[in-house]
Amino acid sequence: MDDFVGTPSPAHAAAAASAGDGWQENYAYSLGMQAYVWGFPWIYNAQLRWLWTTKEGQKVSQQANKPDLYAPVNSFHRSQQLANPENSKSGGSPNCDTLYATAWLDVTDDPIVISVPAVTDRFYCIEMVCMDADNFAYVGTRSTGTEAGNFLIAGPGWTGAVPDDVLDVLPRSRTVSIFLLGRTGVNDTTQEDLDKANAIQAQYQLTPLSLWPNTPPPTPSHVLVPDGFDYNNTAGAWRTMNAAMTQDPPGLPPGIAQDQLLKLFATVGIGPGQDVESQSAATRAGLQRAAKDGLAMLKSMAKGHGKQVNGWTYPPLDLGRAGQNSDYITRGALQSLAGICANDPAEAVYINAFSDSLGQQLNGSNNYRIMFSAGSFPPCDVTRHGFWSITMYDSDYNLVEGSSHYTINGYYPVYQDRDAAGGMTILIQNAEPGSLPSGTYWLQSPANGTFYLILRVYVPDPQVSVTQTWAPPDIVRLP
Q: Read off the pLDDT of residues 254-269 as tens digits, 9 standing for 90 and up.
A: 999 999 999 999 999 9
Main-chain dihedrals φ then ψ at residue 285, nearest 5 degrees: -65, -40
pLDDT tens readout for residues 101-137: 999 999 999 999 999 999 999 999 999 999 999 999 9
For 307-477, CATH number?
Answer: 2.60.120.600
Determine the straight-line distance between the first and last CA of the chain, rounded to whole angstroms: 50
Task: Pick the closest to residue 465 from 314, 288, 254 (CA basis).
Answer: 314
Delimit the domains of the chain by residue range: 10-53+227-295, 59-211, 307-477
For 10-53+227-295, CATH number?
Answer: 1.10.3360
pLDDT in the model for residue 231: 65
Q: Which of 105-119, 214-228, 271-285 has the lowest mean pLDDT?
A: 214-228
pLDDT in the model for residue 479: 92
Dmax (CA) of the chain? 78
pLDDT in the model for residue 420: 96
Q: What percent of the chain has pLDDT over 90?
A: 82
Q: Does domain 59-211 match CATH 3.40.50.300? A: no
In 3-state terms, what secondary structure has residue 102? strand
Q: Is the Cα dihedral 404, 407, 413, 418 positive or negative? A: positive
- Residue 298: is its pLDDT beyond 70? yes
The C-alpha atoms of residue 8 and residue 415 are separated, in whole angstroms, by 60
Q: Which of 387-391, 399-403, 441-445 has the lowest mean pLDDT?
A: 399-403
The C-alpha atoms of residue 235 and residue 324 are separated, in whole angstroms, by 29
Strands of 149-153's sheet, edge to edge?
149-153, 112-116, 205-208
Quick one: pLDDT band at residue 6, thresholds 50, 70, 90? very low
Q: Is there a shared CATH topology between the 59-211 domain and the 307-477 domain?
A: no
How much is the pTM?
Answer: 0.91
Length of the chain (residues): 479
The DSSP output letter for 210 is G
1-17 mean pLDDT = 44
Average pLDDT of the chain? 92
Main-chain dihedrals φ then ψ at residue 30, nearest 5 degrees: -65, -45
DSSP for 236-293? HHHHHHHHHHHHS-TT-TTSPP-HHHHHHHHTTT-STT--GGGS-HHHHHHHHHHHHH
Q: Parallel, antiparallel, or unpaired for β 440-444 and 424-429?
A: parallel
